[in-house]
Amino acid sequence: MVFDAQFQKLNVIRGDRSNGLYLRNFTAERSTFNAVYVLEVDGFVIDKLVGRWNTEYGFLSFAAEHGLFIRCEAYGNGRNMATRTFACLQCARTAPDDRLSA
């Protein structure tokens, strides 16, 4: 499935202040900021997504905890593929073999 913002939306998908978020197997493209923006979420998985042709980032998490990016791809964005908070890096290191630990 492809979610195309046609440069009419700031973010294609935005998860904001939730207790858990799981996004899997789709493409988000052509936003004026980010393909996927995760903000203040406690527990998230971004799995097998493509973020392409966005003005800023393919994937951005900010002030989010216990997050994991798995098998994501990003290209054609104005900046990096992904920006993650320190807590996300911690979680990714503790979950072996690209699986979210229970």
Tell me what pLDDT residue 96 has: 45
Q: What phi, psi does 87 have (nearest 5°)?
A: -60, -35
Residue 70: domain span: 2-98
**Token pair 């900046």: residue:** 79
Q: State the pLDDT at residue 90.
A: 41
Q: Is residue 79 very low, low, confident or very high in pLDDT (cuts 50, 70, 90)?
A: confident
* pLDDT one-digit tens code per residue, 10-46: 999 999 999 999 999 999 999 999 999 999 999 999 9
Sequence-separated (6 or more) residues with CB below 8 Å from residue 29: 2, 3, 4, 5, 12, 35, 50, 51, 52, 53, 54
Mean pLDDT across the chain: 83
Q: Could you give the number of structural domains in the chain?
A: 1
pTM for this entry: 0.78
Helix (H) or strand (E) holding 43: strand 42-47
